[in-house]
């Protein structure tokens, strides 16, 4: 073998070793959360209402809840291994209709910090600074839950007729996560498929928790009148947002979080990490340049509330997934929200928190918007070898 090809072989070998360290950082529970649900006593009435709405089967056939597609033991994404392996998108409550996207996690989008202020995902903005002005923020793979839709587009005053204290307490929960819930899986035929807002309201009113928590949280009885149903439905969305933003849903308790807390200087390498996990960190923030997109704070991975996403949009060139039922055309992503053809196929950078969380080692998770990748090895191999479309991402060797 010539010297040159020998060098290439060596480099390749080194690269593969390096990437298996990145992989091990993620698998080595670096991004894995493992504590069971906290007591409901820690929740406010509004958060508790949101939690009940999230887990209650409010759907056409009363067989599906938000948690069907966002389960805790997979870190907030789909809870059925066979679905992840093949069709990726979850069949709706009617047992027939299927969307074309893998459920992203509902965790670590927005959360409340120590002083109770919202952090994380911002309102959708078509020209965020950071890169040559580019879109960032908003919920969904394409950002269409922009964060001001309930009030501006739908023109709903959530606080109409209520004591003004509710507005000052709850205004922080309006935003992309509330817009997502209002969008709404409850009545989307591809998801929970309940006929309309009124039917959602009457199902909730039919429960003791629904009537009680609504009254405690909003200071008035839950009456499902057609006149008020828009406000009530938006208040359900605010409650869902409140719980999804609570520490019950965003634990920040992964092995990495604990290692950070325990570390004597709070800097890498972490005492509690294996050498391979620490090396994975160095690659993630160095040669492999993952931090370029998967970083929310500029802190070399030691921020307490790091979410591993910058909330921008990119097209990393994920192959088309023909196994999604009806073989839909590739998802246009951000283009759907901006109608700008430069944004075709761009998808929101997902958080990497919980990315390896699964109920058993045999449980298959699907990765990226169309679930093409079935393991972290596959996606790291892809980054290692593919020519990535976005020009801002140049692979280093």
Residue 181 in contact with ligand HEC, rule: CB under 6 A: yes
Q: How far is 385 from 375, CA to CA, in rounded Å? A: 16
For 191, list phi and psi in degrees, rounded to 5.
Answer: -120, -115
Residue 69 in contact with ligand HEC, rule: CB under 6 A: yes
Residue 338 in contact with ligand HEC, rule: CB under 6 A: no
Q: Which is nearer to ligand HEC, 43 or 293 (CB)?
A: 293
Residue pair 123/117 in contact (Cβ under 8 Å)? The answer is no
Choices 35-43, 102-110, 150-158, 203-211; region in contact with ligand HEC by CB under 6 A: 102-110
Residue 141 in contact with ligand HEC, rule: CB under 6 A: yes
Residue 131 in contact with ligand HEC, rule: CB under 6 A: no
Least separation in angstroms between residue 336's CB and ligand HEC is 8
Q: Which is nearer to ligand HEC, 222 or 348 (CB)?
A: 348
Best CA proximity match to 237, nearest among 46, 395, 33: 46
Residue pair 20/284 in contact (Cβ under 8 Å)? The answer is no
Residue 318 in contact with ligand HEC, rule: CB under 6 A: yes
- Write the interaction track for ligand HEC spanning residues 233-272; mark x where CB under 6 A is met and - where it is not: -------x---x----------------------------
Residue pair 249/48 in contact (Cβ under 8 Å)? The answer is no
238 burial (CB, 10 Å; 0-12 / 13-18 / 19+) is buried
Q: What is the DSSP string of 214-239?
A: HHHHHSS-----TTTHHHHHHHHHHH
- For residue 118, the cross-strand partners are 112
394 burial (CB, 10 Å; 0-12 / 13-18 / 19+) is exposed
Least separation in angstroms between residue 66's CB and ligand HEC is 3
Choices 158-166, 195-203, 213-221, 343-351; region in contact with ligand HEC by CB under 6 A: 343-351
Q: At what angle do helices 229-244 and 45-55 cross, to 10 degrees?
A: 100
For 239, list phi and psi in degrees, rounded to 5.
Answer: -65, -45
Helix (H, G, I), strand (E, B) or coil at 347: strand
Least separation in angstroms between residue 225's CB and ligand HEC is 22
Q: Which is nearer to ligand HEC, 159 or 365 (CB)?
A: 365
Least separation in angstroms between residue 262's CB and ligand HEC is 24
- Interface with ligand HEC (CB under 6 A): 22, 54, 64, 66, 68-70, 90, 92, 99, 101, 103-104, 106, 109, 139-142, 177, 180-181, 185-186, 191-192, 240, 244, 288-290, 292-294, 314, 316, 318, 347, 349-350, 352, 355, 367-369, 376, 379-380, 383, 390, 392-393
């Amino acid at each position: 073998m010539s010297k040159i090809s020998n060098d290439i072989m060596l480099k390749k070998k080194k690269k593969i070793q390096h990437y298996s360290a990145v992989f091990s950082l993620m698998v080595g529970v670096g991004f894995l959360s493992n504590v069971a649900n906290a007591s409901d006593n820690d929740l406010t009435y509004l958060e508790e209402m949101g939690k009940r709405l999230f887990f209650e089967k409010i759907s056409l056939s009363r067989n599906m809840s938000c948690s069907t597609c966002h389960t805790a033991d997979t870190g907030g994404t789909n809870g059925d291994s066979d679905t992840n392996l093949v069709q990726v998108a979850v069949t709706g409550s009617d047992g027939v209709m299927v969307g074309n996207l893998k459920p992203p996690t509902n965790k670590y989008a927005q959360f409340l910090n120590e002083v109770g202020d919202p952090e994380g995902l911002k309102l959708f903005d078509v020209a965020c600074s950071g890169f040559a002005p580019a879109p960032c923020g908003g919920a969904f793979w394409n950002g269409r839950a922009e964060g001001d839709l309930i009030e501006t587009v739908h023109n709903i005053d959530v606080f109409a007729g209520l004591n003004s204290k509710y507005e000052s307490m709850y205004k922080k929960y309006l935003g992309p996560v509330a817009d997502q819930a209002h969008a709404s899986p409850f009545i989307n035929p591809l998801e929970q498929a309940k006929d309309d807002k009124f039917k959602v309201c009457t199902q909730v009113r039919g429960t003791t928790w629904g009537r009680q928590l609504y009254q405690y949280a909003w200071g008035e009885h839950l009456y499902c009148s057609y006149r008020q149903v828009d406000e009530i439905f938006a208040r359900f969305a605010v409650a869902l947002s409140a719980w999804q933003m609570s520490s019950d849903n965003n634990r920040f308790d992964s092995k990495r979080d604990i290692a950070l807390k325990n570390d004597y200087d709070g800097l890498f390498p972490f005492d509690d990490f294996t050498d391979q996990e620490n090396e994975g960190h160095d690659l993630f923030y160095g040669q492999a340049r993952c931090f370029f997109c998967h970083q929310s704070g500029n802190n070399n991975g030691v921020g307490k509330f790091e979410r591993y996403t910058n909330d921008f949009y990119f097209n990393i060139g994920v192959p088309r997934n023909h196994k999604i039922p009806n073989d839909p055309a590739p998802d246009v992503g951000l283009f759907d929200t901006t109608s700008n053809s430069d944004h075709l196929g761009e998808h929101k950078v997902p958080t990497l928190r919980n990315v390896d969380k699964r109920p058993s080692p045999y449980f298959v998770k699907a990765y990226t918007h169309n679930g093409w990748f079935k393991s972290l090895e596959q996606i790291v191999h892809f980054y290692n070898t593919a020519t990535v479309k976005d020009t801002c991402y140049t692979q280093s060797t």
